[in-house]
Structure formats: structure tokens, C-alpha cells
């Protein structure tokens, strides 16, 4: 009616202004409707482009909605909602993320120690609170079973690094972390009872939850994910033992030369053994003849030829930390270990032969991780050298993404060593073009007549000047706000990170020769006093308690994991023992992993709300210092962390847990329900220590 009236008035002589008014109103209505629909579309597009900045996004899928928190709890910790994977994230978090960034003080150096691994934006205010808490932790023990008195307040802090929804309440959460941020309620339900059953999975006794595909019905051509992808519902079952039985592994160094075959039995492994001479079946054992390898002429000849081609490669001095891509031959790790080199083998998702499990059974470091679209869980500029033996990885495909990831984690001036048996002319040309575009210098290219392999050694540049000399700026230089250390669920970037310049930046200078680098602290380490205090603290704990007071037979310990490492102090304290330590830095904690690598140790980022990338029964000892108190309200079911510890620990293996008494008491009951032997408990001033041993029991 109103529109008809306007039309009638428009026909009158004085109706011109009415016409103008009507056109204006219709135009405004059109703009309003267009803005509503276009803004929602733009929001979705922006959200998808920002996946790399989100550590633990939540799914808005109608079939699996996040659980709602109570009003008071959601304000205290927004990340307590159900966590999902980045690919499933759709919703309104992008606007919330922008609001959060308004409260974040941006700095030029994106490698601040307080940065969280899932989000590339630093949060200094929260990090200062965590640093204050860590100062409380760094208290030397007095007595054999003394505990860390400083970790008592860890559960009272509220983590921000991985919050997946309600990010707009970040200021309220920070206020809560300052004052009354203590979350009420126990970590473990004290009234819960546990009845365990065996996992009925396709991969049986070798089940890796975030790597193996478990679907109901139908045929699956491969049982490995192309990317890390964890089950929506955390697994609450116990992985069975091998069907032929399981025996305690041979102690080091005997395990270096032979292992029990039935502990690593796999159908594809049996066929692999028949085709390769670096491992042989001998009765009930798999044996590893010395100096045998995939390379004809022996592994020692192979390593010597590399050193001859590039004399600056001084194994064990200039080169200390090496990443071996593919884990095709653990004889490389064995030979380099004799030269004081720590080699971390990377078992890829398509490693169906389970050679990474063989390496771990022998007593050498290895992890399982897909190498595809996402970054590897390591900080930038960490490895002195990267090796790819018998390399069949298509480095040049997809714009050279995989090689750009190698460039990210390789130390400036570091070496990329690639050996291939059969060179393709097309692949050779593509690789030459790619390495030239990222300014890698070819130091040596040699076809070894004895080894029948072609070896190429590249070196990453040590400065940025060479990048400016490129005719084509492809790949481009990464943006300044691109954090090269952000690695947890972060997609690989098709860009080049600049080389750090200045002694105050991590990676600007090559570390001291081994073993000096273990106790040397470069200028970019701002908190040297804390690193020294951390080292002194764990030296005291190890000498007064762990090595003598817990009843652990250290001659049977080889593979050790520190589940919440800070500066690698425990690894330093155990450096005189015949062990190696995997230093795990949780993604919600301050980023101290670059310091660990700088000291000549190895480590990895991980979120303990998910399963770790390793085979079952691969560690002899797990150490958790106030890990559980820091995970309060982060994980949907904290008891699944105990189930994961049971999965990765060998029967007869040990755990040492230091935490609050209110956490250790129910934790002890959970372990008893799994038939673990509780060897010692001790409490003082609401803090305690629990030492237990896993048995052969399976339900």
C-alpha cells in the first residue's frame, strides 16, 4: 500500500522528490541485502585461509557438535570444548581471532620463547605468567625422593595458545589467570571405575591411532593416513601384544647388533628381509651385520666418501643432529652413533615395512610422521644435516613444497645429502631448477662406482643477499609475520624464510662443536640463567633420586621420553648414561625446543590430547613432570593420556610422574586397574612423585 501511494504521488507535478526518495530507499535495501550475503561468504573464505593460525579448531558439524561448558567454566577456559582437526573447522572463529589479535602486542622477532606452536601470533602477557610459574618449578631437590615444589600452581594458570572457540573472551581468561583462575573439579573422576578391553583394530598390535585408518566395513587399499588425523573419539582400549608373544628387548649395546624378531614381526617385513642384506633372519633374532647397508661397499665407505667430497662435514664435531628421511636403513643411525651423532629417523606414512619400529627396537631415535601438506613438528633451523638415502621422494612436485619444508628445518649453512640409485633426466632437471630457485649450492655431485649410487650434497645459504640476486623471485620471500617455528597442524608454505641475521636471533650462527654445545648458551638465549638452573635442578634430581633411589635397572633403559621438557635438563642429566632422550615440548607451552636442538639434543612438538607418532612398545622409560596439571581442561578425556602411555611403553618399562597429590592419587588407581606395579609413591607439601612399572598383563 505504501509503495502504491508513492507511485500515485510520483505522477503528480511535485512528485519528483518522491521519486528520488523511493529510488534511494530501494537502493539502500539492495545494498543491505547484498552486504548480508556477501559478508557471510567472505567470512567463510577468510576462515579457510586462516587455518594455519589455529591450533585446535572446533568442528561445527551437525553430526558432532562441541560440548557446551557451564557459563562460569567457559569464561575461565574457552578451549575446554571438544577438539577437532583443522580441516573440519567452519564457523565464526575468524572474527573472534581478529578480536584476539587486537589484544596481542606484535613484535619484530616472531621467535619469542613464549610463542605457542599452533598459533603464529605471540601472547607475551600469558607467556610472562608461564615464565613466572616455571621459575617456581626450578627448585633443586633435597633428598632422594624429593619433588619439584614449584609446580604446585601450574594447574591454576589458564592456557591460551590452543583455545578453539570463544576467543572473544581472551581478556577475561587472562584476568582469570592472574587472579582467581583456578578451575574447580578434579582432573580424574575419583568415582570412576575402569574395565579394560583389547583394541580390535586392523593394525592389531602395531596400532598408531593418528596414523592408521580404522573404518567399519569396505576395503581400504592402504591403512595409513596421507595426513595426521586422529579419531574423533579418543581410544580407550589397550593395544594387544604380538600374537607370537613378546619378550623384553635385548639390552644396549647388544640390541645394536640383534633384536628379537617376534617383537617387530610384520608380514611385509619378512619379505623385506629376504631382499636386503643389512638385516638378516637368524633363528629367533633379526641380526644387523656390521658395515652392511643399502649402499654397496658398506656404510663406512659411504660416510667416508661424503666427508671426502665435503671436508667441512666433520661427523661428530661440526655435525651433531641429523634427520634421516624415510628410515630405509637404520645402519646409518648405527654408524653415525659411533661418531657421536644423534640421528632422528623419520618413518613416513607409507612405510608399511615398519622399519621405524626396527630402528626403535635397536635403540635408535625414530618418529612416524606423514610428509605431505603440513609442516613437520620441528622448529626452524634445527638440523645440522638432512639425509635422504635411496631417495625416491618427488621433491620437485607441488611447487617444491616438500623441499621448502626441508629448507625451513635445515640450519643455515646446513647440508642436504641425497643419494639415488637411478637418476631420471627429467627429475634431475626439475631438481636442479628447484634447488637453484631456493639458492642451494651444489657442493658435490659424484657417482660412486663402488656403491653404485649417485650422491649430491647441497648447502643452504648463510645469508639473504643471494635471494635478492634471483632473476625470478619464485618462490617468494615469506611475509614478516610468518612464524617459521609454528609447526603444529600448520600447512607448508610455498615461500622462503629469510636467514636470521644478528647474534640475538636463533639460527644466525653455527653452534659450538660437540660436546661443547651441550653446555654453551648462544647470545640469542635470553634466559640463560633459567637454562643453567634447569640443568642443575635435573642433575640433582637424577643423581639423588632417579639413578639410585627408585630401583630402576638403568642397564635395561635405552629409549627415554621426557613428556614435558623445558630446556632438555633431564636429557643433559642422563647424558652419561647409555640412553637417548626424546624431548617433547607441548604445543601449549612456551617454545623452548630451539634451545634443545641448539644444545645438540633432539625433540618434537606434540599435543598430549592426541596420540604420539610412534609404534606401540617403543620406549623403556617415560618421564612426566607436572604434565597432567598443565593439561587440566585441555583434553576431553585426560585418562586417554594414561592409555597412550600404556601403548608406547614397553612391558617392563618404567614411568616417573611428578605432580600434585590430588592428581597422583587417582592416577595410581588407574594404573592399578591396568595391573601396573606401583614401585614407589612419595608426597610432601601437596606435591608428589609416582614411580610405576608396566607388566605383561593384557585383558
Identify the bridge partners of residue 321 per DSSP, sorted by sequence position: 342
Query: Which range (164-178, 369-383, 509-523, 552-566) has the least confidence?
Result: 164-178
Cα 352 to its chain centre, rounded Å, is: 21
> 117-164 pLDDT, tens per residue?
554 433 333 444 444 444 444 433 333 333 332 333 322 222 323 333
pLDDT value, residue 523: 85
Distances (CA, A) of 614 to 200, 205, 206, 261: 19, 13, 9, 18
Banded pLDDT at 116 (limits 50, 70, 90): low
Average of per-residue pLDDT across 251-264: 95
pLDDT value, residue 447: 77
Banded pLDDT at 424 (limits 50, 70, 90): confident
Average of per-residue pLDDT across 615-623: 97
Query: Which range (179-188, 247-256, 307-316, 476-485) has the least confidence?
Result: 179-188
Whole-number Å distance between alpha carbons of 344 and 375: 16
Contacts (Cβ under 8 Å, ≥6 apart) of 246? 262, 263, 617, 651, 696
Whole-number Å distance between alpha carbons of 645 and 529: 32
Whole-number Å distance between alpha carbons of 328 and 113: 35
pLDDT value, residue 145: 33
Which of the two residues, 423 and 130, has the higher pLDDT score?
A: 423
pLDDT value, residue 161: 32
Highest mean pLDDT among 183-192, 418-427, 632-641: 632-641
pLDDT value, residue 255: 96
Q: What letter would DSSP give residue 5?
A: H
Region of residue 697 (left: phi > 0; alpha: psi -120 to 50; beta: else) = beta
Residue 124, H or E segment = helix 124-137
Q: Which domains does the chain have, with CATH numbers?
A: 254-499 (3.40.50.150), 518-694 (3.40.50.150)
Tell me the CB-side half-sphere exposure of residue 204, using CA atoms within 13 A.
Answer: 9
Average of per-residue pLDDT across 244-271: 93
pLDDT value, residue 18: 59
Banded pLDDT at 318 (limits 50, 70, 90): very high
Counts of helices then strands in the chain (DSSP H, E): 19, 17
pLDDT value, residue 60: 30
Whole-number Å distance between alpha carbons of 43 and 235: 35
Average of per-residue pLDDT across 289-318: 89
Average of per-residue pLDDT across 527-551: 95
> What angle do the packed helices 16-49 and 93-102 form, to 10 degrees?
80
The strands making up 441-448's β-sheet, listed across from edge to edge, are: 366-368, 342-347, 321-325, 383-388, 410-420, 453-459, 441-448
Contacts (Cβ under 8 Å, ≥6 apart) of 651? 241, 246, 248, 617, 694, 695, 696
Identify the bridge partners of residue 338 per DSSP, sorted by sequence position: none
* Radius of gyration from C-alpha coordinates of the chain: 28
Number of neighbours of residue 226 by Cβ within 10 angstroms: 12
Whole-number Å distance between alpha carbons of 34 and 339: 68
What single string gives the DSSP state of each residue in 142-163?
-STT---GGGGGGGGS---TT-
CB 553 within 8 A of CB 621: no
Highest mean pLDDT among 9-13, 46-50, 163-167, 672-676: 672-676
> 431-459 pLDDT, tens per residue?
999 999 999 999 999 876 665 678 999 99
CB 618 within 8 A of CB 587: no
Q: Percentage of the chain with pLDDT > 90? A: 52
Highest mean pLDDT among 39-48, 140-149, 681-690: 681-690
Which of the two residues, 267 and 576, has the higher pLDDT score?
A: 576
Whole-number Å distance between alpha carbons of 594 and 110: 13
Which 3 state secondary structure label does DSSP give 514?
Answer: coil
Is the model's pLDDT at 46 over the cut of 60?
A: no
Which of the two residues, 183 and 207, has the higher pLDDT score?
A: 207
> 185-224 pLDDT, tens per residue?
688 887 889 999 999 988 899 999 998 876 554 455 555 5
Which grid cell is 693?
612399572
Which of the two residues, 159 and 270, has the higher pLDDT score?
A: 270
The strands making up 280-282's β-sheet, listed across from edge to edge, are: 258-260, 285-287, 280-282
Residue 559, H or E segment = strand 559-562
pLDDT value, residue 73: 36
Highest mean pLDDT among 14-23, 244-253, 345-354: 244-253
Reference 626, options 577, 575, 566; nearest CA is 566
Banded pLDDT at 266 (limits 50, 70, 90): confident
Distances (CA, A) of 78 to 70, 72, 317, 587, 591: 11, 10, 47, 17, 22
Which grid cell is 49?
585461509
Which of the two residues, 351 and 560, has the higher pLDDT score?
A: 560
Number of neighbours of residue 174 by Cβ within 10 angstroms: 17
Average of per-residue pLDDT across 402-409: 97
H helices within 200-257, ranges in order?
Answer: none
Which grid cell is 451?
656403491
Computed over every residue of the chain, the mean pLDDT equals 78
Which 3 state secondary structure label does DSSP give 275?
Answer: helix
Amino acid at each position: 500500500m505504501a509503495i502504491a501511494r508513492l507511485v500515485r504521488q510520483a505522477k503528480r507535478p511535485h512528485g519528483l522528490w518522491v521519486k528520488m526518495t523511493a529510488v534511494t530507499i530501494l537502493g539502500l535495501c539492495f545494498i543491505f541485502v547484498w552486504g548480508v550475503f556477501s559478508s557471510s561468504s567472505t567470512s567463510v573464505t577468510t576462515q579457510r585461509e586462516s587455518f594455519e593460525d589455529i591450533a585446535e579448531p572446533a568442528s561445527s558439524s551437525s553430526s558432532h557438535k562441541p560440548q557446551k561448558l557451564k557459563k562460569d567454566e567457559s569464561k575461565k577456559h574457552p578451549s575446554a570444548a571438544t577438539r577437532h582437526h583443522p580441516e573440519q573447522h567452519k564457523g565464526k572463529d575468524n572474527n573472534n581471532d581478529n578480536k584476539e589479535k587486537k589484544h596481542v602486542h606484535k613484535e619484530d622477532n616472531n621467535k619469542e620463547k613464549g610463542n605457542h606452536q599452533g598459533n603464529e601470533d605471540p601472547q607475551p602477557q600469558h607467556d610472562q605468567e608461564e615464565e613466572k610459574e616455571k621459575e617456581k618449578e626450578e627448585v633443586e631437590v633435597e633428598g632422594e625422593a624429593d619433588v619439584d615444589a614449584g609446580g604446585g600452581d601450574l594447574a591454576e594458570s589458564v592456557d591460551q595458545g590452543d583455545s578453539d572457540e570463544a576467543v572473544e573472551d581472551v581478556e577475561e581468561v587472562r584476568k582469570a589467570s592472574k587472579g582467581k583462575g583456578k578451575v574447580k573439579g578434579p582432573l580424574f573422576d575419583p568415582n570412576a571405575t575402569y574395565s579394560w578391553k583389547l583394541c580390535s583394530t586392523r593394525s592389531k598390535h602395531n596400532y598408531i591411532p593418528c596414523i592408521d585408518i580404522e573404518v567399519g566395513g569396505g576395503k581400504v587399499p592402504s591403512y595409513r593416513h596421507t595426513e595426521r588425523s586422529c579419531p574423533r573419539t579418543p581410544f580407550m582400549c589397550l593395544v594387544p601384544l604380538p600374537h607370537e608373544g613378546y619378550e623384553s628387548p635385548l639390552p644396549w649395546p647388544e640390541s645394536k647388533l640383534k633384536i628379537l624378531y617376534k617383537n617387530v614381526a610384520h608380514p611385509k617385513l619378512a619379505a623385506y628381509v629376504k631382499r636386503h642384506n643389512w638385516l638378516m633372519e637368524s633363528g629367533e633374532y633379526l641380526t644387523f651385520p656390521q658395515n652392511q647397508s643399502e649402499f654397496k661397499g658398506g656404510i663406512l665407505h659411504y660416510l667416508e666418501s661424503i666427508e671426502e667430497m665435503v671436508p667441512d662435514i666433520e661427523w661428530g664435531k661440526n655435525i651433531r643432529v641429523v634427520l634421516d628421511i624415510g628410515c630405509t636403513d637404520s645402519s646409518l643411525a648405527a654408524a653415525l652413533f659411533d661418531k657421536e651423532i644423534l640421528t632422528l629417523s623419520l618413518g613416513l606414512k607409507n612405510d608399511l615395512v615398519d622399519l621405524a619400529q626396527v630402528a626403535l627396537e635397536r635403540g635408535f631415535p625414530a618418529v612416524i610422521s606423514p610428509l605431505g601438506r603440513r609442516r613437520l613438528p620441528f622448529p626452524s633451523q634445527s638440523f645440522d644435516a638432512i639425509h635422504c638415502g635411496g631417495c625416491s621422494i618427488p621433491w620437485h612436485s607441488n611447487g617444491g613444497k616438500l623441499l621448502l619444508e626441508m629448507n625451513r628445518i635445515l640450519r643455515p649453512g646446513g647440508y642436504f645429502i641425497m643419494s639415488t640409485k637411478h637418476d631420471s633426466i627429467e627429475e634431475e632437471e626439475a631438481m636442479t631448477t628447484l634447488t637453484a630457485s631456493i639458492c642451494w649450492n651444489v657442493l658435490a655431485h659424484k657417482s660412486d662406482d663402488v656403491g653404485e649410487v649417485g650422491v649430491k650434497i647441497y648447502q643452504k645459504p648463510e645469508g639473504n643477499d643471494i635471494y635478492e640476486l634471483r632473476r625470478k623471485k619464485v618462490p617468494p620471500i615469506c611475509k614478516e609475520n610468518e612464524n617459521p617455528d609454528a609447526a603444529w597442524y600448520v600447512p607448508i608454505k610455498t615461500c622462503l624464510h629469510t636467514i636470521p641475521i644478528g647474534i640475538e636471533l636463533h639460527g644466525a650462527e653455527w653452534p659450538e662443536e660437540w660436546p661443547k654445545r651441550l653446555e654453551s648458551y648462544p647470545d640469542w638465549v635470553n634466559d640463560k640463567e633459567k637454562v643453567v638452573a634447569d640443568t642443575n635442578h635435573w642433575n640433582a634430581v637424577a643423581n639423588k633420586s632417579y639413578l639410585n633411589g627408585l630401583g630402576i635397572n638403568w642397564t635395561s633403559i635405552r629409549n627415554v621420553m621426557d613428556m614435558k621438557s623445558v630446556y632438555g635438563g633431564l636429557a643433559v642429566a642422563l647424558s652419561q648414561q647409555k640412553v637417548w632422550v626424546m624431548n617433547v615440548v607441548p604445543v601449549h607451552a612456551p617454545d623452548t625446543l630451539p634451545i634443545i636442538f641448539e644444545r645438540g639434543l633432539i625433540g618434537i612438538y606434540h599435543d598430549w590430547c592426541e596420540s604420539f607418532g610412534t609404534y606401540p612398545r617403543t620406549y623403556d622409560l617415560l618421564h612426566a613432570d607436572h604434565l597432567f596439571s598443565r593439561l587440566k581442561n585441555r583434553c576431553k578425556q585426560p585418562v586417554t593420556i594414561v592409555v597412550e602411555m600404556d601403548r608406547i611403553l614397553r612391558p617392563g618399562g618404567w614411568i616417573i610422574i611428578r605432580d600434585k597429590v590430588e592428581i597422583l592419587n587417582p592416577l595410581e588407581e588407574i594404573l592399578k586397574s591396568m595391573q601396573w606395579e606401583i614401585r614407589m609413591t612419595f608426597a610432601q607439601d601437596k606435591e608428589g612423585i609416582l614411580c610405576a612399572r608396566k607388566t605383561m598383563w593384557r585383558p
